[in-house]
Amino acid sequence: MFRDSLAQDTGTTTGLTFGYQAGRVLKAGTLTAVSAGTLALPASSESLVYVDFSATPPIVDDALTGVPALETSIVLFRVTTDGTSITEVIDLRNWTMGRTVAA
């Protein structure tokens, strides 16, 4: 992954909607683009936001329970919400710098 790739997009993050910027990651040795977008997160929860390489093209998704399959995903953020808004975003992208997914 590249610096600032798939960063949080503060311009599209509002309420329970988490926005992220486009980016590029290595998938099976090939540089793969991931489009920018938003995710609607559930209220009063903690979610992991991750790139899912089992989808074609790869997508960004969220998981409420457990950890996404490490063979087919890269975790980007841990996001906590209350009843109406995002209260905390922890950037986990530096744990994945240089990691290649085989899927």
Confidence category of residue 103, pLDDT binned at 50, 70, 90: very low
Instruction: Express each pLDDT in 61-97 by its tens digit.
Output: 887 666 777 778 888 899 999 999 999 999 988 655 5
Compute the average pLDDT of residues 26-44. Answer: 87
**Rounded distance between C-alpha atoms, residue 16 and residue 7, angstroms:** 17
Q: What are 64's two structure tokens? A: 């409420």
Compute the average pLDDT of residues 12-25. Answer: 93
Q: What does the pLDDT read at residue 87?
A: 97
- Global pTM reads 0.82
Burial class (CB in 10 A: 0-12, 13-18, 19+), 43: exposed
- Residue among 71, 1, 85, 37 nearest 49 (CA): 37
Longest Cα–Cα distance of the chain, Å, equals 41
Confidence category of residue 1, pLDDT binned at 50, 70, 90: low
Q: CB under 8 Å, gap of 24 or more: what pairs does 3-8 form?
A: 5/93, 6/34, 6/51, 6/60, 6/76, 6/93, 7/91, 7/93, 8/77, 8/89, 8/91
